[in-house]
Amino acid sequence: MARPNRRLARDARYQRYDGGPDPLAPPADVREALDAIGEDVMAGTAPERALREFLRRGGRDRPGLDDLARRVAEKRRQLTRENNLDGTLQQVRELLDRAVLAERRQLARDVELDDDVRALAELQLDSLPPSPAAAVSDLAGYDWTSPDARRDYEAIKDLLGRELLDQRFAGMKQALEGATDADRAGVAAMMRDLNELLAAHARGEDTPEMFDEFMAAHGDAFPDAPRDVDELLDSLARRAAAAQRLRNSLTPEQRDELDALAQQAFGSPDLMAELGRLDDQLRSLRPGEDWGGSEAMDGERGLGLGDGTGVLQDVADLDDLAEQLAQAQPGSQLDDLDLDALARQLGDEAAVDARALQELERALRDSGAMKRAADGQLRLTPKAMRQLGKALLRDIAESVTGRQGSRDVRRAGAAGERSGATREWEFGDTEPWDVTRTVTNAITRTAGASAAEAGGASGGVGSPGTRGVRIEIGDVEVQETEARTQACVALLVDTSFSMAMDDRWVPMKRTALALHTLVTSRFRGDDLQLIGFGRHAEVMDIEQLVGLDAKWDKGTNLHHALLLANRHFRKHPTAQPVLLVVTDGEPTSHLEPDGEVWFSYPPDPVTIAHTVRELDASMRLGAHTTIFRLGDDPGLARFVAAMARRVGGSVVAPEADDLGAAVVGSYLDDRRPGRGGAGPGDETGGGRRRRGRGSGR
């Protein structure tokens, strides 16, 4: 066997992965997001907006866009409150005051100096104007007697040159500290060549070779290493626009001072001419940059021209990030986020958080949970409905199993007669295992894997004879059964405005979705119809009901809903009818023979009579009836108790949060042959049954 290369092992180094998303990161978990989005959709929020709201607020362990936007805003406030932009003028004043003071001391100490010369020099120093720029200009021809004073005065010109260059080329201030005449000549040559390159680009005459030659000669001045003229232009224009915003942020007096001082930078007016030409070309080639903005900065820390320009670049980056995080533009997506700028401004952790949100948004769109409809609007798909329903059923199961006399909904229902067919086990199945098929699948899989690994060797470690057989989830098959009973279920849900007004809208939708999921996944032989009734009734599919908005529509037309339910029962004459009614108000409207809706409040006896007649029809069809009464209205309590006694049904008075468990539990009881439960007119409340004489007490 070959020996490992120990030298290579010693030379190996580990470092931060910098190639995009972490390939070892777990996939985005969309369950929490889908649950939250589903809640908002059921409350009447459009799916697109619900998605945005979840990304904005984040999850339990994941910060959202609002948190990132808050941190962006905090850093922006910090930059503008701590800094001011007159740092260069302050430095010039300090150098000038130090030079004048050193010169006065030298004049006083120099006994060999002619008295007339001393008096003239002192007069010149005494008559300096208060403006630093004017004072520096007046001292241009002064014959300094103090070497320290001369050095400080020359430092003013050197500082101004480096600051002006640092405004356009970040890092120039430090790079040119202590610069020689050769260094200054190199800067002048770079400026000329740069302006010539940009002029050729503006005329469309530049070539890649020209750019390569320029970078070969002056690449050290551009640490960001642009790859072509456009990238070079983008970088220079952003910096130059920030420099212009800094100038706009100064007072007129400060601008005048700096303009006058700038003419003496490096002792050469040619520098200002080249910088002016550069600014003009950048403004022409990149007019979309913010050349006219300004920023109020009144902190205590003075910034030089270069540092101030860098801060204003940071402010511009933060403003762009705030706009990206707001996602306010039509068609905005998280993929628009500049993660590099986010990492630069807030650190790598913020970029990781933002990338996690990007992956979550992408996973939600790619998982099939959401899709764009023909009208351009985002919609929850049936797959998303199933996932939401399963989550609701899990919540209901936890709620039901914690109560006396209740059972886990996953174990509900009899298995029925075996059909002889088998199928792969799915989560939630309670059908008996087909042991023979399961063990055969495990042996076949294990034998195939062992042969591949052992390469035909026998009797070795890991061979089938010594490893044994391990059953995995994919091996399990269950026996298909024929249901002993088939139910025809009608769930009638009140969609009048009072349901939304009294915070029962979302529990109603959660209940319908949970029951729909249970029937379609566990009791596929049953036929469920969802009927919403407000001023009139309507048969709805689950997507329509979940996305239903509350409307200010007077009327509770239980009569029309019962008409539709009885039609559903008649279509399934061999099935057991189950009638489930969820309401928070007495019937106040009914359907006339001509199809018009009659409304009256308080409830009209004619409306009550029409409703009772249809309920009697349900009883004659053999329906097991349960009415779920929401609220404590005495009139409603008396009405539903009387209705339940009339048809031998029962009344359940749950809290809104317990509605789903009550409806699912009632369905499971009603579909069993020889069912137990409450007797005629008995009332169930709070998850436990209690005997009574109706709800009107």
pLDDT digits (tens, 9 = 90+) for 593-632: 888 888 888 889 999 999 999 999 999 999 999 999 998 8
What's the whole-number mean pLDDT along residues 23-44?
Answer: 68
Distance CA 610, CA 542 (A): 28
pLDDT number for residue 57: 85
**Residue 170: pLDDT over 70:** yes
Identify any residues that bridge with 488 across adjacent strands, giving them in sequence order: 527, 577
State residue 621 phi and psi, 5-degree precision.
-80, -5
Over range 423-439, report the average pLDDT.
Answer: 80
Pair 34, 388: CB distance under 8 Å: yes
Nearest to 400 by CA among 39, 35, 684, 60: 684
Of 27-36, 103-112, 455-464, the poorest mean pLDDT is in: 455-464
Is pLDDT above 50 for 677? Answer: no
pLDDT in the model for residue 373: 65
- For all residues of the chain together, what is the average pLDDT? 81
- By the 8 A CB rule, do 349 and 209 touch? no
Beta strands in 565-649 (DSSP E): 576-583, 589-591, 597-599, 624-629
CA gap 176, 184 in Å, rounded: 8
- As a whole number, mean pLDDT of residues 51-70 equals 85
Give residue 333's region: left, alpha or beta (phi > 0; psi -120 to 50).
beta
Residue whose tokens read 């890649």: 208
Q: In this predicted structure, what is the pLDDT of residue 659? A: 85
249-262: per-residue pLDDT in tens? 888 888 888 888 87
494: pLDDT confidence band, cut at 50, 70 and 90? very high
Residue 550 confidence (pLDDT): 79
Measured CA to CA in angstroms, residue 106 lies from 128, 184, 290, 589, 635 at distances of: 18, 31, 50, 106, 105
Concatenating the DSSP letter of every residue in 405-424 gives T---GGG-S---EEEEEEEE
Compute the distance between CA of residue 396 and CA of residue 187 in angstroms, rounded to an integer.
Answer: 74
Q: Measure Cα distances from 299 to 79, 93, 287 in Å.
A: 9, 19, 31
Band the pLDDT of 363: cuts 50, 70, 90: confident
593: Cβ–Cβ under 8 A, 6 or more apart, which residues? none
Task: Please determine, for residue 566, whether its predicted confidence score (pLDDT) is greater than 70.
Answer: yes
Residue 565 clears pLDDT 90, i.e. is over it: yes
Give the residue among 273, 322, 244, 317 at the shortest CA–CA distance from 85: 244
How many Å apart are CA 104 and CA 260, to the nearest integer? Answer: 25
What is d(CA 328, CA 335) in angstroms, rounded to the nearest whole number?
A: 14
pLDDT in tens, 379-424: 676 777 777 777 777 777 666 555 443 434 444 444 455 656 788 8
Which carries the bigger pLDDT value, residue 451 or residue 192? 192
Of all residues in the chain, the percent with pLDDT exceeding 70 is 81
Residues recorded for the chain: 697
Provide the pLDDT for residue 278.
92
Q: How many CA atoms lie within 13 A of 303 on its CB side?
A: 25
Cα 592 to the center of its chain, rounded Å:
50
What residue has token string 């007016």? 269
Q: What percent of the chain has pLDDT over 90?
A: 28
pLDDT of residue 484 exceeding 60, the answer is no
Supply the pLDDT for residue 655.
Answer: 86
What is the per-residue pLDDT across 264-294, written as a single tens digit (0 to 9) for each? Answer: 766 566 777 888 899 999 999 999 999 988 8
Round to whole Å and give the CA distance between 697 and 688: 18
**pLDDT mean over 170-196:** 83
DSSP percent split of the chain into helix, strand, coil, nearest 5 = 55, 10, 35
Q: Which of 5-9, 296-300, 599-603, 691-695 has the lowest mean pLDDT?
A: 691-695
> CA–CA separation, 493 vs 582, rounded Å?
5
Checking if the pLDDT of 100 tops 60, the result is yes
Question: Which band of pLDDT confidence, cut at 50, 70 and 90, is reported for residue 463?
Answer: very low
Please state whether beta strands 589-591 and 576-583 pair in parallel, antiparallel, or not at all (unpaired): unpaired
> Domain map of the chain by residue range?
30-83+318-380, 86-296, 417-481, 485-690
**Residue 689 pLDDT:** 39
The amino acid that residue 99 corresponds to is A
Contact yes or no for 511/663 (Cβ under 8 A): yes
Burial class of residue 235, CB neighbours in 10 A (0-12, 13-18, 19+): middle
DSSP 531: E
Q: Which residues contact 314 (CB under 8 A, 6 or more apart)?
A: 75, 79, 345
Please answer whether residues 88 and 160 qualify as being in contact, where contact means their C-beta atoms are separated by less than 8 angstroms: yes
Task: Give the whole-angstrom CA distance, residue 167 versus residue 191.
Answer: 14
Q: Is the pLDDT of residue 688 over 70?
A: no
Predicted confidence at residue 445, as pLDDT, reads 83
Give the model's pLDDT for residue 78: 92
CA nearest 655: which of 403, 466, 416? 403
At residue 207 the predicted structure's pLDDT band, cuts being 50, 70 and 90, is very high
Residue with tokens 């030379």: 11
Determine the pLDDT at residue 687: 44
pLDDT grade, residue 374 (50/70/90)?
Answer: low
CATH no. for 485-690: 3.40.50.410
| pLDDT bucket at 524, cuts 50 / 70 / 90 | confident
Three-class DSSP category at 577: strand
Distance CA 350, CA 340 (A): 10
Give the pLDDT score at 3: 53
- Residue-level pLDDT at 302: 87
Label residue 117 by pLDDT band (50, 70, 90).
Answer: confident
Query: Do the Cβ atoms of 560 and 610 come closer than 8 Å?
Result: no
Could you tell me the two tokens for 45?
A: 């929020």
Question: Once rounded to an integer, what is the mean pLDDT over residues 325-333?
Answer: 78
How high is the pLDDT of residue 73? 92
Query: CB under 8 Å, gap of 24 or more: what pairs does 503-507 form?
Result: 503/656, 504/584, 504/630, 504/631, 504/656, 504/659, 505/42, 505/43, 505/44, 505/550, 506/39, 506/42, 506/43, 507/656, 507/657, 507/659, 507/660
Residue 401 pLDDT? 54
Amino acid identity for residue 41 in this structure: V
d(CA 577, CA 648): 14
Pick from 649, 667, 659: nearest CA to 685: 659
